[in-house]
Chains A and B, each alone.
Chain A
Amino acid sequence: MYAELLTIWSDQPGISLAIWLAALIFIMYLGRKPAHQLIRSVGRTIHAAFRLAARSTMSLETRLQKRNAEVILSLGKDSTERSIEREFHRVNAVVSRDLSSYPTLHRQISDTINKIEEDYHSATDSPPLPPAWLEAVESIANIPQSGDATVGRILESIKKTVKQAHAETQKVYEKSSLERHKLLSGMQPMWRKLALVLGQVKDTIDGLDERSKLIDEQMETYQAIRAGEERASRLLTSSSLTQFFISGLVLFIAILGGVINFQLIAMPMSEMVGGTSQIGPMRTSDVAALVIIMVEIAMGLFLMESLRITRLFPIIGSMDDKLRKRMVVITFVILTILASVEASLAYMRDLLALDREALTQSLSGIGVVEAEFRWIPSLGQMTMGFILPFALAFVAIPLESFIHSTRTVLGLLAVVLLRCIAFVARLLGSVANHVSKTLVSVYDLIILLPLGVEQIFTGTRRRRENDAQPADSVTAVIKE
């Protein structure tokens, strides 16, 4: 077919090809204008279509970004509300624990102060007054002796009485001083007690002060979130990404733990459900082991929900406190039972492995070798079997973070993807536009020869017209 076409003009393919080329170039030259229009219009159409697609994608991206911001602010709002609520709960706990007894404390302090005041007043130093007649006696005693022996004796007696009265007064004073000292020393523990009570009050107040500062900070964040500030959104996004990676890492560790757990219980499970039956492509014992692990994780989720540590199931969180506490107890009991089952399965696994090893040794003709310290791996396996379910129960915490942060991460990825699509659409549109321009030039390059001839003719005719134009004007002037 092609060979026939090639030799349609001449037997020599070269000449025929040249004729074909000449004909093609001529046809292309004739259809130059519509061809240019076609190429350019196709280019512009593609360009416009891609630009429209890019604009739509960018509009979608803007909407998605807005939605992402709303979601992240909503999550942040929820999280901050929880933090503030928790802080208020703590404040409430402090107030109800320490400050609820404040009236009693106040009365205690007042009583102590009153007692101290009374004691202080009782301890005031008031020297005893000598008897009233003592001054008269003292005046008589001070009369100079005139040598009368009787008078001398009387005076001596009076002097003696005065001295005695002084001694008695001194004795009373000393006694009262001793009592005062006793009162003062009795005040010391009261002061200490007072200082201690006031110290306790100070600590409580300081704690409340710190809590109030934290609440203030949280409230500021909350207000920023409510106002929809850009900074708050950025901070929450960054925090969400961090949460995503950290919770992802913890979940990965949990998955490894789950795999180990599965290895511990899959083999002994065949003792319960048989070693050969299958559910689909999996052995029933493997499925049973997986189910146990999944139930453990589910119980862990419910336990964490009931303890209000996580909030994946709002219905559990909004339950009546009594019911919720019952649920805590029930899930914990189920988890403990499952952990015990796992521990026993782990022990059975060890026994089975031992039995199998003994059988293999007997089949291969080697006498059964009793391994020493067999109890160590047995105990280790049992402990692992008991602990791993509880460890898996805590998966609920990173799982919640992961689920919440995944929404943010997916939103961010979708935004990036949409941006890329818009960029590619814009790029393709521009490329189509420029390619159409280039194709026009290439078209002209192909028909270069007839175009050149046309330009020569056009140039000559123009020159002729230019040359003829002055002569015509001279003729017109002459005619006038």
Chain B
Amino acid sequence: MKRTLWISGLLILTLSACSEPTPRNKAVYLLLDTSGTYTRELDKAQHIMNYLLATLDSGDSMAIARIDSGSFSEKDIVAKTTFDLRPSTANAQKRVFKRKLDDFVDNVSKGSAHTDISGGVLQASEYLNETGAGHKYVLIFSDLEEDLVKGHIRDFTIPLSGINVIALNVTKLRSDNVNPRDYLQRLDNWEKRVGEGGGMWRVVNDLERLDRLISN
């Protein structure tokens, strides 16, 4: 009887040790709209990135990509990294990351002709799923007005299962002022698309309230 108890205890311990731990790390993919007049908003994106760098920790992943005419491409990724497990190395990686984004923002001279947000979101989804992080976020820094190149097909459901999609700084267009329903319609459309893909949708326009952006 005693022996059986011992063996059972050991088995329980072994099994509990072997069970797959739930990942607690985060992965963030920041999409920056570089089309048209939105390029003027990029300095705000730097503010967001600084907040993210200060918030993310060892083991977390982060990538920044631009939204241009055809965003479903690795070439559009400006910088990506997974922070090292050692805090000192992670700090060094953050410095490098910041420098890369600063260079990118400084060198953006003119905006792209078209805006392929869906392609960027799809690319983000792929990247985030590859990281295997416990909490995945796509931050879209854009006015959400999609303008695809003729022939590009994006009218399908984007797989976003378990991914939080957060639209940041969704600026109102000139036409939105004439008919605000366009703006609301745009947000509704995106919410619907994200919901269909299995993701969670949020909009954060007040950049002073970033503290709850990627909180669990």
A→B interface (CB under 8 Å): 267, 270-271, 274-278, 351-352, 355-356, 359-360, 362-365
Contact residues of B between 42 and 69, Cβ < 8 Å to A: 50, 53-54, 57-59
Chain A residues within an 8 Å CB radius of B50:
363-365
- Of B57, B87, B91, most A-chain CB atoms within 10 Å: B87
A284 to chain B minimum Cβ distance, whole angstroms, is 10
Task: Verify if B24 is at the interface (C-beta below 8 Å from A).
Answer: yes
Contact A362 B91, beta carbon cutoff 8 Å: no
A362 to chain B minimum Cβ distance, whole angstroms, is 7
A274 to chain B minimum Cβ distance, whole angstroms, is 3
25 contacts between A and B (CB under 8 A): A267-B87, A270-B58, A270-B85, A271-B87, A274-B58, A274-B85, A274-B86, A275-B57, A275-B59, A275-B87, A276-B57, A276-B58, A276-B59, A276-B85, A277-B85, A278-B21, A355-B91, A356-B91, A359-B54, A360-B54, A363-B50, A363-B94, A363-B98, A364-B50, A364-B54
Chain B residues within an 8 Å CB radius of A275:
57-59, 85-87, 90
Contact B53 A363, beta carbon cutoff 8 Å: yes
Which residue of A has the minimal Cβ distance to B60? A276
Give the CA-CA distance A364 to B87 in the complex, in Å: 19
Give the CA-CA distance A365 to B43 in the complex, in Å: 12
Chain B's interface: helix, strand, loop or mixed, by majority?
helix
- Count of CB-CB pairs between chains A and B under 8 Å: 51
- Which of B21, B24, B25, B91 touches A359 (beta carbons < 8 Å)? B91
Give the CA-CA distance A355 to B95 in the complex, in Å: 11
B101 to chain A minimum Cβ distance, whole angstroms, is 11
Chain A residues within an 8 Å CB radius of B21:
278
Contact residues of B between 66 and 111, Cβ < 8 Å to A: 85-88, 90-91, 94-95, 98
Give the CA-CA distance A364 to B21 in the complex, in Å: 35
Closest 7 CB pairs of A and B: A276-B59, A274-B85, A275-B58, A363-B50, A271-B86, A359-B91, A363-B54
Contact B24 A278, beta carbon cutoff 8 Å: yes
Chain B residues within an 8 Å CB radius of A271:
86-88
Chain A residues within an 8 Å CB radius of B85:
270, 274-277
Chain A residues within an 8 Å CB radius of B58:
270, 274-276
Which residue of B has the minimal Cβ distance to A284? B85
Chain A residues within an 8 Å CB radius of B98:
362-363
Give the CA-CA distance A365 to B98 in the complex, in Å: 11
Give the CA-CA distance A359 to B59 in the complex, in Å: 18
Give the CA-CA distance A360 to B91 in the complex, in Å: 10
Which residue of B has the minimal Cβ distance to A359? B91
Chain A residues within an 8 Å CB radius of B87:
267, 270-271, 275, 352, 356
Chain B residues within an 8 Å CB radius of A270:
58, 85-87
Chain B residues within an 8 Å CB radius of A360:
54
Chain A residues within an 8 Å CB radius of B25:
276
Chain B residues within an 8 Å CB radius of A355:
88, 91
Which residue of B has the minimal Cβ distance to A271? B86
- Of A274, A275, A278, A365, most B-chain CB atoms within 10 Å: A275
